[in-house]
C-alpha cells in the first residue's frame, strides 16, 4: 500500500511527474528517430524575484548529455530574463520540463519570500518555521530555499541535515500544557537539553511579561531568550507587547534576554516588531506559502 501520495525520487527521475504530452512527444520523436535532435532550451521568469532550485535541477540532469548555463541561486532575476539555458539532444531533457519548471518556480518563490523577511529584520536573525504549513515531502526543499534566501536557521530536522546545520526551535505550547507550568516546563527542558540555548515560551498561561520575569528569575544567565507567540484571539504579538516585555526585563536587570517572536509574521510585521525591540523572528506561512514564481521553457 502506498502510504503517501508524494512522488518518490525514483518516480521523478523516471519521468512519472511529467505532463503527459511530454511523454507522448517523446514516443513520437522516438518513432521518427528524432530524439537526438540538438536543441537549446531557455528558461525565463514571469516576474522579478530571487532565484532558487538550481542545485536540484543540476542534480536531476546529472549524467545527461546536456550543457547547462544558469544564474546562481539567490541571485536577483528580472521579468523575462533567461535564468537557465540547457543545450543538448531533446531526448535527454525534454521529459523533465515539468519537473525543472516546478523545481525552479516553487524554490524561487520560497527564496524570494525568505529574502524579503531577512531584509525587513534589519540584520536580526530570522528562522524558517514553515515546515508545518507544507506537505512533508517538500518541507526540506522549502527550508533549504529559505536558507538560500538568507534566513539564519530552519526548524525541520531533515531540512537542517541537508543544509549541514543544527535545526532551530524553542518549545511548543503542548509541552507546557502537559506539564502544567511554564517554569517547570523550562526546567525539564533544560535538564534534558542542557546544551541547547534555553528559549522559553511565555504566553501559555499568564501575562507574558509576568511569565518572562518568572522564567528570568529562575534561570538567570542560563536563559537565552523568551518567545512570544500570543494567538490572535488574545491580541497577538504586537509592538506594544514587545515593548512592554522588553521594558520589564530591563527594569528587572535581565537586559541580556533575547525576545523571540512568531505567529503570522510577514515583512511589515517583522519591521514593526524589530523597531519595538524584538531580537529574533520565527516565520512560518509567509515563506512556506509563498506563491511559485512562474517559469517558462522555450526552445
Give the Cα separation of 237 and 89 in Å (integer): 55
Report pLDDT for 224: 97
Mean pLDDT of successive 10-residue stretches along the chain, which has 299 residues: 93 96 96 97 96 98 97 97 98 97 98 99 97 97 98 97 94 96 96 96 92 96 95 84 97 97 97 98 98 97
Report pLDDT for 192: 97
Burial of residue 102, with CB atoms counted within 10 A of its CB: 0-12 exposed, 13-18 middle, 19 or more buried: middle
| Pairing of β 223-228 and β 258-262 | parallel
Report pLDDT for 231: 79
Residue range(s) in the chain whose domain bears CATH number 3.90.1170.20: 9-110+291-298
237-254: b or e for each residue (b if 16 or more CB lie within 10 Å)? bbbebbbbbbebbeeeeb
Q: Which listed CATH number (3.40.190.10, 3.30.750.210, 1.10.540.10, 3.90.1170.20) goes with 9-110+291-298?
A: 3.90.1170.20
Domain covering 112-288 assigned CATH 3.50.50.60 in the classification = no
Residue range(s) in the chain whose domain bears CATH number 3.20.20.70: 112-288
Report pLDDT for 258: 98
Report pLDDT for 226: 97
Report pLDDT for 236: 84
Give the Cα separation of 104 and 106 in Å (integer): 6
Q: Please state the pTM of the whole predicted model.
A: 0.94
Give the Cα separation of 274 and 277 in Å (integer): 5
Report pLDDT for 287: 98
Report pLDDT for 234: 81
Amino acid at each position: 500500500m502506498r502510504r503517501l501520495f508524494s512522488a518518490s525520487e525514483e518516480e521523478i527521475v523516471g519521468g512519472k511527474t511529467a505532463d503527459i504530452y511530454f511523454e507522448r512527444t517523446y514516443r513520437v520523436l522516438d518513432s521518427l528517430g528524432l530524439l537526438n535532435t540538438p536543441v537549446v532550451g531557455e528558461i525565463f521568469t514571469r516576474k522579478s524575484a530571487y532565484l532558487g532550485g538550481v542545485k536540484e535541477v543540476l542534480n536531476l540532469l546529472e549524467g545527461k548529455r546536456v550543457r547547462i548555463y544558469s544564474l546562481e541561486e539567490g541571485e536577483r532575476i528580472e521579468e523575462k530574463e533567461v535564468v537557465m539555458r540547457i543545450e543538448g539532444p531533446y531526448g535527454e531533457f525534454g521529459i523533465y520540463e515539468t519537473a525543472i519548471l516546478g523545481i525552479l518556480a516553487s524554490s524561487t518563490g520560497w527564496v524570494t519570500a525568505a529574502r524579503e523577511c531577512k531584509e525587513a529584520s534589519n540584520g536580526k536573525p530570522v528562522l524558517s518555521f514553515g515546515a508545518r504549513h507544507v506537505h512533508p515531502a517538500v518541507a526540506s526543499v522549502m527550508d533549504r530555499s529559505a536558507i538560500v534566501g538568507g534566513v539564519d536557521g530552519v526548524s525541520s530536522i531533515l531540512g537542517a541535515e541537508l543544509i549541514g546545520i543544527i535545526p532551530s526551535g524553542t518549545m511548543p505550547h503542548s509541552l507546557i500544557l502537559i506539564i502544567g507550568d511554564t517554569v517547570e516546563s523550562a526546567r525539564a527542558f533544560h535538564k534534558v537539553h542542557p546544551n541547547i540555548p534555553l528559549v522559553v515560551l511565555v504566553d501559555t498561561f499568564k501575562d507574558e511579561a509576568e511569565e518572562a520575569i518568572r522564567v528570568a528569575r529562575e534561570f538567570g544567565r542560563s536563559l537565552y531568550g523568551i518567545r512570544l507567540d500570543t494567538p490572535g484571539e488574545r491580541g497577538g504579538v504586537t509592538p506594544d507587547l514587545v515593548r512592554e516585555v522588553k521594558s520589564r526585563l530591563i527594569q528587572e536587570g535581565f537586559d541580556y534576554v533575547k525576545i523571540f517572536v512568531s505567529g503570522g509574521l510577514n515583512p511589515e510585521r517583522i519591521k514593526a516588531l524589530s523597531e519595538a525591540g524584538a531580537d529574533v523572528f520565527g516565520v512560518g506561512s509567509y515563506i512556506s506559502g509563498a506563491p511559485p514564481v512562474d517559469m517558462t521553457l522555450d526552445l
